[in-house]
Chain A
């Protein structure tokens, strides 16, 4: 990411050996690489080194006995991975469960966020009085600090004093006060908070993407007698494809790795029905002090996300080429 944003424009083609290579002056062709150096150094420092360290940790038996001197940690090869990925063992079974919960959660959250974002974006495309007010309002959840926003949701979801149950019981929708932060409902509570937090981002991206759709296309479609759904299907969505491609990928990665929402909502140990993988890994390494195993889980997760991302980009790019 860093390299692409800070990379200078490619150097103008210059015939090698010529040009003004006076004393003390670098050849033109080397300058771009030199300018890239700080970015590469930072990229290495911020992304690559921690990742490599993570991989290294994952092949060690790293517990509290060795954290002061990692070189003393016994090399265990793939043992951590074996324990992690053995779905019949207790560790693997829990991880697999947590993985499926996360897949469900991500699919629903990304799908709903995208749908909300799309429809809000489309409806706010044409100017009307109060449009900018609505736009601002819709973006509020995205602008709030995560902790403050999610802790408010925990208050809303509390069984005895929460706003939600107050609403449900006074309107007669529920006789008994259900639990939202423990048991089966906790999954849905988590999903609601997640969608609430991420749909404004989808809205923002769709809104930006729609600026590029020429209004003539809608006019032409309207003249041809296309209704709302037809215009959405044949004009809006195709024009939004490049935006959607990135948007869905980013939402997927963010949601799959989301740590803050469950951590604040459930306070460090999520109920099993909402045991997202990020929290699960945190519990497996930090709280139980088994850093090697936590790293093995993280590396496995990283590989999974890489494969999904690569597959996704491959499929969507191919489709675009065919289109």
Chain B
């Protein structure tokens, strides 16, 4: 009896061991044909849509090179955690998409192959890429940790019919005009502007652009946080005041975090929206392309001291290669393929984003009004978010502080300069730890 039990236990252990061993083996996927694993970020309306968009291209790549690529589309809410887990364990995909604001933070992990001159040469050379986009691929003075794949920028989207009905002929170019316009358009259930008040990264992106316009910096030259400077306080207050003082934003927006502001705009509940490449999202919500206009994000009428001509962050997605890849050459070949002219046109066209390489910007796919505005913003008035390792902390802490300020504004509490300074000061203190 006991011998049988022993034998069974032993068998179970052997079985368990062999199962785990199998799990280890399949990671490599080496052998005859080369295989890469690729984690793509979610760019289209759903994970499935992205998979269907990417698969034919990956098949093309396999035909050309004989390298098979297994793609997994990872939702944004999981991507960073999964990247960190892969960096920690040294296992996982070969090639990944990363949000370009994470570049410097992820660069600091040392988990990715740096694109030094030789490496970037292997994917077509530095000059191929849009300079602003490449600047958002790692800390200055170091080889980029990734290369740009899709580029985006913020723009002001406005409802043409509402503007015409109110007798407004042109989109606002200054914040003062935006407020006047917004007040005209705020009536009944309709609001002048929609914001995503509880969305932390959206908030922090606006904090950056407004900060630049008001002459603020979130980090000093040595990389120390400078959150509660008078410039940053004024900048953040200007943004919150759109709801708190000007009352052109529905207080309900203070709880928006799942892109409800995009729905509000598409469904005619708000006349204006500040968003990055929103055209595709409007389309899924049933808003026709000729129903809305696109303009650059406004500036202050008189430039505050030290203010910069910046009205958007350089937004976008980069593509990076993990150091733990078993086949660096194949991985770089794949990066080269994804940033090739044909793929840049094909994929950016589907996703409504802009190419990250200079060679195809003149393509017919990018001549629509929206793409032209975004391209010109990206070329002339966009700046990368601070490329420091603590960038993700900045997004979390400042974005959360602004979420709380919006909550105060929505519940009718006065949002004073001191209140803003206190929140930003608190956020800065937490950076130090």
- A interface residues, Cβ below 8 angstroms from B: 24-26, 31, 34-35, 38, 64-65, 67-68, 83, 89-91, 94, 158-160, 177, 179, 181-183, 267-269, 271-272, 283, 286-290, 293
Contact = CB atoms under 8 A, between A and B. Distances in A.
Interface stretch (B309-317, B360-368, B403-411): B403-411
Contacts of A24: 3
B389 A64 contact: yes
Contacts of B87: 67-68
28 contacts: A24-B3, A25-B3, A26-B2, A31-B2, A38-B9, A64-B106, A65-B110, A67-B88, A68-B88, A68-B109, A68-B110, A68-B111, A90-B429, A91-B430, A159-B252, A159-B255, A179-B254, A182-B255, A183-B410, A267-B257, A269-B198, A271-B403, A271-B407, A289-B105, A289-B392, A289-B393, A290-B433, A293-B433
A287 B431 CA distance: 12
B68 to A, nearest CB: 27
Contact of B407 (A65, A158, A182, A268): A182
**9 closest A-B pairs (Cβ-Cβ)?**
A90-B429, A182-B407, A159-B252, A160-B252, A288-B393, A287-B396, A67-B88, A181-B255, A64-B109
B90 interface: yes
Classify chain B's interface size: 35 or more
Contacts, number: 100
Given A179-B407, A179-B411, A182-B254, A64 B108 contact: yes
B345 to A, nearest CB: 35
Interface in B374-430: 389, 392-393, 396-397, 400, 403-404, 406-407, 410-411, 426, 429-430
B64 interface: no
Nearest to A283: B396
A90 B426 contact: yes
Nearest to A80: B433
Contact of A91 (B6, B393, B433): B433
A179 B200 contact: no
A65 B392 contact: no
A94 B88 CA distance: 28
A90 B433 contact: yes
A212 B206 CA distance: 62
Given A68-B88, A179-B407, A271-B404, A160 B106 contact: no
Contacts of B6: 26, 34
A283 B395 CA distance: 12
Nearest to B9: A38
Contacts of B90: 68
Interface of B: 2-3, 5-6, 9, 12-13, 77, 81, 84, 87-88, 90, 105-106, 108-111, 198, 200, 250-252, 254-255, 257-258, 389, 392-393, 396-397, 400, 403-404, 406-407, 410-411, 426, 429-430, 432-433
Q: Is the interface of B mostly helix, strand, loop or mixed?
A: helix
A25 B2 CA distance: 8
A306 to B, nearest CB: 26
Nearest to B432: A90
Contacts of A283: 396
Given A24-B3, A35-B9, A38-B12, 19 more contacts: A25-B3, A64-B106, A65-B108, A65-B109, A67-B87, A68-B90, A89-B433, A90-B426, A91-B430, A177-B252, A179-B255, A179-B407, A181-B198, A182-B198, A182-B407, A183-B411, A269-B400, A271-B404, A289-B393
Q: Is the interface of A mostly helix, strand, loop or mixed?
A: loop
A160 to B, nearest CB: 5
Contacts of B110: 65, 68
Nearest to A158: B255
B133 to A, nearest CB: 23
Contacts of B77: 268
Query: Interface centre among A35, A64, A159, by most B CB within 10 Å?
Result: A64
B106 A267 contact: no
A88 to B, nearest CB: 11
A83 B433 contact: yes
Contacts of B392: 287-289
A299 B4 CA distance: 43
A57 to B, nearest CB: 11
A183 B412 CA distance: 11
A11 B250 CA distance: 72
B339 to A, nearest CB: 26
Query: Interface centre among B258, B429, B430, by most A CB within 10 Å?
Result: B430
B13 to A, nearest CB: 7
Nearest to A177: B252
A29 to B, nearest CB: 12
B397 A267 contact: no
A158 B251 CA distance: 12
A144 B433 CA distance: 40
A91 B397 CA distance: 12
A12 B424 CA distance: 69
Contacts of B9: 34-35, 38
B19 to A, nearest CB: 14
A158 B257 CA distance: 11
A188 B392 CA distance: 31
Contacts of B393: 288-289
